[in-house]
């Protein structure tokens, strides 16, 4: 009976400590994340990314806008792509093969069709589809590229909004899932009767297995729903 009371007190202590940590994180973290979010919106930079790094690297949307400016200047879409690819060195892993095919005399649509794999990210896939369709000619090529760039920026904005909104919850979940493990380890190390019950009795081993299963399952389930696309 005494062992059952100790286990009940252990569970109650773990829940109480977890609730206290959750209340503290609820009171403190929202203010910090809100300041970061406002700063990102005022500086017009993605959440958690500096203006300097964004200007150094650029995005796929910036790449499309740069091509659109070249087209507005009077260059053909193929030549605009080749010239812009030379300036965006960090995109060379997917633009250089296409630019090489264009330099050899292939049309932009054929170059994209010959070099585009099936496992590219969604933003690059949208950019290549836009360039392939725009290479067929017609009116408003630059406007088409600019609209696709706008769509990519909106996607990026939504993704950063989602990350900012779930950051506090992810941190709280991580803390709450580790606290019971830490308390259980401390109790096993300090109390011989609790160690004897949990490690040398079928009921104690069942409690450990069920607790670990629920802990891991909860972490994986929450990680899945926070990574899912909005």
Look at residues 59, 68, 44, 58 and name the one whose alpha carbon lies nearest to residue 146: 68
- Asked whether the predicted pLDDT for residue 81 surpasses 60, the reply is yes
Give the number of residues written for the chain.
230
In tens, the pLDDT along 179-229 reads: 888 888 888 888 888 888 888 888 888 988 998 898 888 888 877 776 654
- Asked whether the predicted pLDDT for residue 47 surpasses 50, the reply is no
In tens, the pLDDT along 121-134 reads: 888 888 888 998 88
- Asked whether the predicted pLDDT for residue 89 surpasses 80, the reply is yes
> Where in the chain are the domains?
2-51+158-227, 59-154
Q: Over the chain, what is the mean pLDDT?
A: 77
Mean pLDDT is lowest, of 74-78, 99-103, 215-219, for 215-219
Can you tell me the mean pLDDT for 97-111? Answer: 89
- Residue 1, pLDDT score: 60
In tens, the pLDDT along 128-175 reads: 889 988 888 767 888 889 999 999 999 888 888 877 777 777 777 777
- Asked whether the predicted pLDDT for residue 34 surpasses 50, the reply is no
Token couple for 32: 């910090």
- Residue 82, pLDDT score: 92
Residues of 200-218 as b/e, b for ≥16 C-beta within 10 angstroms?
Answer: eeeebeebeeebeeeeeee
Residue 44: DSSP 8-state: T
pTM for this prediction:
0.54
Exposure on the CB side of residue 214, measured as CA atoms within 13 A: 9
| H or E stretch at 228 | none
Of residues 100 and 49, more confidence is placed in: 100
């Amino acid at each position: 009976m005494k062992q059952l009371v100790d286990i009940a007190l252990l569970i109650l202590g773990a829940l109480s400590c977890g609730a206290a940590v959750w209340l503290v994180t609820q009171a403190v973290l929202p203010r910090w994340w809100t300041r970061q979010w406002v700063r990102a919106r005022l500086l017009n930079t993605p959440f958690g990314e500096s203006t300097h790094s964004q200007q150094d690297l650029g995005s796929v949307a910036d790449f499309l806008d740069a091509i659109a400016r070249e087209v507005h200047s009077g260059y053909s879409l193929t030549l605009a792509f080749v010239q812009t690819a030379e300036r965006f060195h960090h995109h060379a892993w997917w633009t250089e093969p296409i630019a090489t095919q264009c330099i050899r005399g292939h049309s932009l649509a054929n170059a994209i069709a010959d070099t585009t794999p099936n496992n590219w990210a969604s933003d690059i896939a949208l950019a290549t589809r836009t360039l392939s369709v725009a290479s067929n000619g017609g009116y408003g090529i630059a406007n088409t590229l600019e609209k696709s760039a706008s769509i990519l920026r909106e996607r990026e904005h939504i993704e950063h909004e989602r990350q900012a909104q779930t950051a506090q919850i992810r941190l709280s979940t991580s803390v709450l899932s580790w606290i019971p493990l830490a308390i259980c380890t401390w109790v096993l190390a300090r109390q011989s009767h609790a160690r004897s019950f949990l490690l040398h009795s079928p009921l104690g081993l069942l409690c450990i297995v069920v607790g670990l299963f629920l802990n891991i399952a909860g972490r994986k389930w929450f990680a899945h729903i926070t990574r899912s696309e909005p």
